[in-house]
Amino acid sequence: MDVLSQQVNETNAARERSEIEITRLNEANRDFQRRVNSLKASIPPQNWREQLNQLQSRALELEAENTTLKKSLTPKPQASTARERPTRPAQNPVFQSLAPVGEVIRIRPDGSFAIISYGRKLGAAEGQTLTIRRNQQNIALVNLTQITNDFSIAQILSSTNTGKSLSVPDIQIGDTAHLEL
């Protein structure tokens, strides 16, 4: 009977240790749940995807501003006149449609939109459609979706020469943007 009594005592001691461990684990679980709930409460539950898109757009705007500032700090060679606009009579509507209003200064890596140096100060408005050109050749159509004072974010619609969706190489930094007439 001594052996049986010893086994009962050992079993009771193991049960007590198990109950203490269960109590400790329950407290840890409650603390963990409080932390999870606190983290969930700190994250906005709605429109996180929209907020992410806005932050990405803002980051691209800031990069565009940075590019413009860098260009303004870079000394320009005196002999370079290739990009100067020729002077023509203002009443010629064909020439007006050829004059660029801005240029592509940034392209999102996935090719979904571009930033153009054409903003409110120059007359940009949401919903305007622009033609992107390179060397007098139409490359693509874009639609202005967000406007700042100096820049526009333009959704790339399609390639004008193929009618297919664009891939990233179709539009390049430095391509010119022209108003659609």
Contact by Cβ (8 Å): 170, 159: yes
Q: Say how far apart CA 168 and CA 127 lie, in whole Å.
A: 22
User: Which pTM does this prediction carry?
Assistant: 0.47
Does residue 21 lie within any of the structural domains? yes
Give the confidence band of 25 by pLDDT, cuts at 50, 70, 90. very high
98 lies in the same domain as 168: yes
Does residue 103 lie within any of the structural domains? yes
Average pLDDT for the chain: 77
State the pLDDT at residue 77: 59
Q: pLDDT tens for residues 127-169? A: 999 989 988 888 888 899 888 888 899 888 875 444 444 444 4
166 lies in the same domain as 102: yes
104 lies in the same domain as 34: no
State the pLDDT at residue 7: 92
Contact by Cβ (8 Å): 107, 114: yes
The larger pLDDT score, comparing residue 40 to residue 153, is at 153
Q: Is 25 exposed, middle or buried (0-12, 13-18, 19+ CB in 10 A)?
A: exposed
Q: Say how far apart CA 175 and CA 165 lie, in whole Å.
A: 18
Mean pLDDT value across residues 85-90: 40
Give the confidence band of 117 by pLDDT, cuts at 50, 70, 90. very high
Our count of domains for the chain comes to 2
Least confident of 51-60, 61-70, 84-93: 84-93
Mean pLDDT value across residues 77-88: 46
36 lies in the same domain as 109: no
State the pLDDT at residue 62: 80
CATH number for the domain harbouring residue 108: 2.40.10.340
Range of the domain at 171: 65-72+93-179
Is pLDDT of 86 > 50? Answer: no
Does residue 12 lie within any of the structural domains? yes
Does residue 26 lie within any of the structural domains? yes
